[in-house]
């Protein structure tokens, strides 16, 4: 990749943006801090991104590419029972949080900070959470058909609750820099969901 400086610079900018936006939030990060952290000149930033908003939206896309990967990896193995696949997904996500020092979820962070004033970010992030719930609804539906969830379960509604509750647990984990709220929420949720 050394002879492809522009894609490499774009990736470095996105990587730095992901780390900085997660830690400091949108308004807490200036473009200069991203340039400094990624050792990238300003011209390169504006070659790849229209402005800071465009940059942050592309950072969200990059974050979601990671989420897609985690969904694909954890949900693909149909030899694993469906509820374990769903927990496996959150295990991968929590592993990512651990690497960041338990700073929580970029979607929740930017969603809280920006959605009061920016319909663009509100809709984008709401769409990301809906996408994750849609993907999780499939194994939850399968769990219902094999009897691991009660017949009355609405898989889409259950997946939506799960994602929403996870975001709350991620906030709490961020506040306390502690993985316990994540694990305890999942324990409660899966215990609860499997009861009639």
- Residues in contact with its own copies by CB under 8 A are 22-28, 103-104, 108-109, 111-117, 122-123, 125-126, 129, 157-158, 160-161, 164-172, 174-177, 181, 184-185, 188-189, 192-193, 195-196
Judged by CB, which is closer to its own copies: 43, or 116? 116
Q: How far is the CB of 95 from its own copies (least distance, A)?
A: 19
Q: Select 2 or 196, whichever has its Cβ closest to its own copies.
A: 196
> In this structure, are residues 75 and 89 in contact, taking their beta carbons and an 8 Å threshold?
yes
The dihedral of CA 98, 134, 75, 60: what is its sign? negative
Task: Please choose, from the candidates 50, 58, 13, the residue with its C-alpha nearest in 3D space to the C-alpha of residue 32.
Answer: 13
> Widest CA span of the chain, in angstroms?
59
Give least dist CB 169 to its own copies, A.
5
In angstroms, what is the minimal distance from the CB of 165 to its own copies? 4
Name the residue nearer to its own copies (CB basis): 25 or 81.
25
Calculate the alpha carbon distances from 10 to 1, 4, 16, 41, 66 in Å. 12, 11, 10, 11, 16
């Amino acid at each position: 990749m050394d002879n492809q400086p522009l894609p490499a610079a774009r990736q470095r900018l996105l990587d730095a943006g992901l780390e900085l936006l997660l830690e400091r939030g949108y308004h807490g990060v200036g473009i200069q801090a991203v340039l400094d952290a990624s050792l990238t000149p300003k011209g390169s930033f504006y070659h790849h991104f229209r402005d800071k908003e465009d940059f942050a939206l592309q950072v969200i896309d990059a974050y979601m590419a990671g989420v897609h990967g985690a969904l694909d990896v954890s949900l693909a193995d149909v030899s694993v029972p469906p509820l374990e696949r769903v927990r496996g997904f959150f295990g991968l996500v929590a592993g990512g949080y651990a690497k960041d020092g338990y700073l929580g979820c970029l979607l929740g962070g930017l969603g809280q900070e920006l959605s009061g004033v920016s319909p663009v970010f509100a809709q984008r992030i709401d769409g990301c959470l809906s996408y994750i719930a849609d993907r999780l609804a499939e194994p939850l539906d399968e769990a219902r058909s094999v009897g691991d969830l009660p017949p009355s379960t609405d898989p889409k509604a259950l997946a939506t609750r799960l994602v929403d509750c996870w975001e709350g647990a991620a906030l709490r984990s961020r506040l306390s820099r502690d993985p316990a709220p994540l694990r305890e929420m999942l324990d409660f949720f899966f215990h609860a969901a499997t009861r009639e």
